[in-house]
Structure 1
């Protein structure tokens, strides 16, 4: 069974550098479903403490509207990890994003630290899977805690760890992405695709969004506001999908009234599983509309 906030739209999840005050201000106006205020890769070591203070103040401000607001802390084993967790717990964002999660034990340790620091119940955990070990233990990680609601693919680090190359179609990553998707779905968790690095290649970005959606990802993590429109469009049901979903549900309900267990739409056999998928499409559309206010 999916976690209770699984239908919250996460088509577009934008990383924002925690050390950049102008970026944090701009984020209040962007059409992102969710924001990751970053204390890790986007912040130099000498700026970590100032960025932590700035990001936690932003998370506690209540000035980001309906956008889901998360904080990416520095990873386990770094000098900043424990202080980041304590500060994030006090700020009370929607979630804490934890990089380099390789085991269920790491998830449980993060949960214990958040509870000890007084994090509100609504502050969830998002775990980043970035290594071969994480791919091979995706189900174990996803099932480690009810507080963990989202898996986030760290595809750049995964390419590095695999000694692979960045290529169109992402063939070197597909086995790992598939394992992570299987783990997420087995545990009933949301899963977000990794970033696309070339912000000047909108066609390549949209193609990767489409691949991610076809594979089953719930949305995509982004590195530039220019990627928002395509991600929001590709990861939302199209008008054609919505219209067909309604016809599937109507046809199946009519068949049941007539005592039949199956129906046909456009010449195709319709069974319970197709109706469940159609209802998921309509529920996703309703969730997007609710988030827009």
Structure 2
């Protein structure tokens, strides 16, 4: 795996690489990371054009990290995607539908960039820990739409239906020091639903959320960022800690709580 040395992004915006207007809007957005998609969002007859557009967009830059999502291993476009992404100015590559750690390792070597790996199938969930431990992997991303389809979960079922899979992804990421990123929320006009799902994702331990529209960015950033009460609590805890187990306000704390508080403050830009 690749140690996630920088703070993980809270907001990661997916957009079709071949849609100029979407690329232009992404440049103006507040997303902390941009995902240029060559896979699901691009029609089969537009794959080559999308790849060229992604390489061009990455060369121009977005003023923040930018990743390109390749087509799935074994597809007609995959090899050309790996070569194109590897030679591009993109900072990261995204591999969809990862299942086999050996294949993940080979793709990571070939592309030569930190790999963000999507866990979207039952086999991927069961192999999540081995994938997270693979050299070159920087993040696991929950592919919630595909997981629901693969698990034959009926429409309308809540997040509890994939709760075990989501927790496995977080556990695997934490065990091997890589980012854990939650899946997309499909309802574009349901701000309350998006906020609830973001807060649920954070409660499971996810670092951030993949998004499909710029209007979702502010909501996700708030939900995955520490609130003022959390920041005040963390600052007070760090200031009060003197080493070892001790009482802080209404509870006992020790070194791990101090470390967690410092991480939260770093995320908030306070340390």
Q: TM-score range by the shorter chain?
A: over 0.9
The answer on 1:267 being equivalent to 2:250 is: yes
Give the structure-1-normalised TM-score: 0.88
SS of the counterpart of 1:286? coil
Give the structure-2-normalised TM-score: 0.95
In structure 2, the partner of 1:74 is: 71
SS of the counterpart of 2:140? strand
Contact 2:246-2:254 within 8 A present in 1 as well:
yes
SS of the counterpart of 2:210? strand
The answer on 1:102 being equivalent to 2:99 is: yes
In structure 1, the partner of 2:128 is: 138
When residues 220 and 168 of structure 1 are mapped into structure 2, their CA distance, relative to the original with a 3 A threshold, is farther
Q: How many residues align?
A: 271
The whole-number CA distance in structure 1 between the counterparts of 2:14 and 2:239 is 41
When residues 2 and 279 of structure 1 are mapped into structure 2, their CA distance, relative to the original with a 3 A threshold, is farther
The whole-number CA distance in structure 1 between the counterparts of 2:167 and 2:6 is 19
Structure 2, unaligned runs of 5 or more: none
The whole-number CA distance in structure 1 between the counterparts of 2:127 and 2:81 is 25
Contact 1:195-1:220 within 8 A present in 2 as well:
yes
SS of the counterpart of 1:91? coil
Alignment of 1:124-163 (within 5 A): 124-145=114-135, 147-163=136-152
The whole-number CA distance in structure 2 between the counterparts of 1:111 and 1:60 is 21
The whole-number CA distance in structure 2 between the counterparts of 1:170 and 1:157 is 13
Contact 2:2-2:137 within 8 A present in 1 as well:
no
Contact 2:138-2:178 within 8 A present in 1 as well:
yes
The answer on 1:217 being equivalent to 2:194 is: no
What is the CA-CA distance between 1:112 and the residue it aligns to? 2.9
Considering only aligned residues, what root-mean-square deviation do their CA atoms show, in Å?
1.7
Alignment of 1:270-289 (within 5 A): 270-286=253-269
Aligned with residue 252 of structure 1, among 241, 258, 261: 241
The whole-number CA distance in structure 1 between the counterparts of 2:231 and 2:95 is 35
What is the CA-CA distance between 1:262 and the residue it aligns to? 2.7
- Runs ≥4 in structure 1, deviation > 3 angstroms? 166-169
In structure 2, the partner of 1:30 is: 29
What is the CA-CA distance between 1:3 and the residue it aligns to? 1.6
SS of the counterpart of 2:241? helix
The whole-number CA distance in structure 2 between the counterparts of 1:284 and 1:169 is 29
Structure 1, unaligned runs of 5 or more: none
Contact 1:19-1:42 within 8 A present in 2 as well:
no
The whole-number CA distance in structure 2 between the counterparts of 1:168 and 1:111 is 35
What is the CA-CA distance between 1:181 and the residue it aligns to? 1.0
The whole-number CA distance in structure 1 between the counterparts of 2:2 and 2:50 is 34
In structure 2, the partner of 1:15 is: 14
